[in-house]
Chains A and B, each alone.
Chain A
């Protein structure tokens, strides 16, 4: 009895954060800095900044020109659905699919890594604010449920997060894409400048340099971080701390407070609900290395384990009060899977600028913010899309199908090739109840835990939108004088945008949503979900900045509620 009490005491914290990715890192930092003893649980291995094993390897130090082996592809066949992640330089940031399987009634691409920092190491770093065009969309269209939040409420939290992470970008005063607190923008190159000019003149559309979480100026508040070195090897992890990640920024900040206990190899599989207290008291954990089962306790629990990861934990937490999954009075838990649909656009060659080039490797492209269904523009589908793209001169690969051989080939390859420019659409994906995940108890992962079954698909609205995404791209390139324009449309499965979201949405009404406007479970006030699961709609912009802003805001709220003894 005594022993139990002792161990319970030892395993008790003020706050538990599940996950160390982009939102877990933020929750860890905010709680620790506010003085709460915080336990941070990460299911995967430890990764300490700046120990990224492939980060400084030159091309000749990687096997097989950095191409995956057949052996790699056997272990990571699902992770390879992106076509760019399973390489010797980056494959260690993605799970072994044989050890961590899931099942699919309909195809969903779940790209993820189990390690400290999660996908904050491998993310695309594009950082865009939402506007009220997004927050009001569900209400105006009568789709799903209304967002319980508007831009004005989240704006100060965007400010707060941007100032900390550092977002390089150009202010444009374009209302659908609000400006932020920007570090100096990166350059557009010659082809991109030409396209920008032409798009403005001929379509009155905006092309701006990508807004990206790279330090293009000193970051005095995180003095251990360096600046972006323009190596463009970000997916390997950046030993300079040139871009924002949990490992380089929020976790070291939390560490400095001495209030954080970070426990890697800790697979949370269930929340503990106390019927009498009417709240969650802690979490059940499986040690990934020893298989030992243990429990940890806290006053407040934050789920930041990724949309599907957190939703799995909730669905797997069955109690008398919550027979259908934790906080699932609405029946919406696991439903409304969203992502962005992409893989559609165009590219072409741009004549001229033969005497111009660029130097350095910019890990960023241009952005054309949404213009469809904005203002007077009306389409036969709802919502819209933005484009991400880039220009550049062809490298050696452009000379494979040329006549040169021998010494001529060396010469040909050493001269910068044609200028090319292309763009890919990122489209909004409407929330649909039947696009969902459930737990499949017939299959087990390497820990013996049941797995997720996915059943989701793109619908008519997305498919209609893609016609514009392809045609507009080609039209803009053509207007800029591009030649040899090629269009493409490879829709893939939901998830391939690696922006999965929506499976524990927030809303005003507990009957139709899982979380309230503070990311708090309607039916259990001391549990919060702040990863992509809370999203009520998807917008068409990259979501991480919004996840971070809501996370910081939710911690602020949770701590004030704790002080008022409301949790």
Chain B
């Protein structure tokens, strides 16, 4: 795709915003910093490196590390790579990649950077903006197919909540309940959190 050109273009814009002439060494430093991207914690089989990085960063924003593990801790990016590779039709794979690309292009428009090069604040702001628009659109007309960001959110949540930490620390899970109690006070239903499976 057009990644490198976009990156230089973005840099130029950033430099202009900074209102300063940028020396060759500064540019070099910037480019350097762009090359030392955060490491992926898995080897993607479907996404290229930039796509994988975007998915990792976006999923961590959707479900970050708090007092419980984050999306990256529990292997959500790997899960999404595998799902899109093995379970999606070719048409849906293309739609997903187009969605990623569109999301990235939007990021350049909104804050001048590709998503993966944004600061954590920029990434959060941008993702939340896209997400909230999508949710509001969906709420006003649920028949419209869910836009990309909600697909990504759903995949992130699926990967997270089928993971052991997601199912047992954020939700609750009992492998062998042994009994069914149909109508009990919430506080008596285990720890009162959502059951991971039904």
Contacts and interface: CB of A to CB of B under 8 A. Distances in A.
B184 A358 contact: yes
Interface string B125-138: 00110011001101
A417 B171 CA distance: 12
B87 A69 contact: yes
B86 A69 contact: yes
Interface stretch (A95-103, A294-302, A359-367, A422-430): A359-367
Interface string A140-176: 0000000000000000000000000000000000000
B127 A405 contact: yes
Nearest to A486: B142
A409 B71 CA distance: 12
B101 interface: no
Of A355, A360, A362, A403, which is in contact with the most chain B CB atoms at under 10 Å from its CB?
A360
Contact of A356 (B154, B184, B193, B198): B184
**Residues of A contacting B: mostly:** loop
A407 B177 contact: no
B111 interface: no
A6 to B, nearest CB: 52
B176 to A, nearest CB: 5
Interface in A197-255: 229-232
B163 interface: yes
Contacts of A231: 175-177
Of A70, A410, A414, which is in contact with the most chain B CB atoms at under 10 Å from its CB?
A410
B88 A396 contact: no
B87 A410 contact: no
Nearest to B124: A406
B137 to A, nearest CB: 10
A362 B183 CA distance: 12
B62 interface: yes
Given A396-B157, A399-B157, A64 B86 contact: yes
B101 to A, nearest CB: 21
B196 interface: yes
A397 interface: yes
Interface in A339-384: 353-362
B61 A405 contact: yes
A333 B129 CA distance: 64
B194 interface: yes
Contacts of A59: 161-162, 167, 173, 196-197
Contacts of B128: 405
A400 B136 CA distance: 12
Given A65-B83, A357-B192, A361-B198, A409 B63 contact: yes
A294 to B, nearest CB: 41
A59 B83 CA distance: 15
A401 B182 contact: no
Chain A's interface size range is 35 or more
B88 A70 contact: yes
Interface stretch (A19-27, A182-190, A457-465, A505-513): A182-190
A288 interface: no
Nearest to B188: A359
B171 A396 contact: yes
A189 B162 CA distance: 25
B164 interface: yes
B105 interface: no
A400 B153 contact: yes
Nearest to B187: A355
B185 A356 contact: yes
Given A186-B180, A362-B180, A403 B83 contact: no
A400 B150 contact: yes
A402 B153 CA distance: 11
B181 interface: yes
Given A231-B175, A406-B64, A413 B194 contact: yes
Interface in B61-114: 61-64, 66, 68, 79, 82-83, 86-89
13 contacts: A230-B178, A230-B179, A231-B176, A232-B197, A353-B183, A354-B186, A360-B174, A395-B171, A395-B195, A396-B196, A397-B154, A401-B138, A413-B161
The 10 closest A-B pairs by CB, nearest first: A187-B182, A360-B180, A360-B177, A357-B189, A190-B183, A189-B182, A69-B86, A59-B162, A362-B180, A230-B177
Interface of B: 61-64, 66, 68, 79, 82-83, 86-89, 124, 127-128, 131-132, 135-136, 138-139, 142, 146, 150, 153-154, 157-159, 161-164, 167, 170-171, 173-186, 188-190, 192-198
Given A59-B167, A361-B197, 12 more contacts: A58-B173, A59-B197, A232-B198, A357-B185, A359-B179, A361-B177, A396-B171, A401-B146, A403-B131, A413-B157, A413-B171, A416-B194
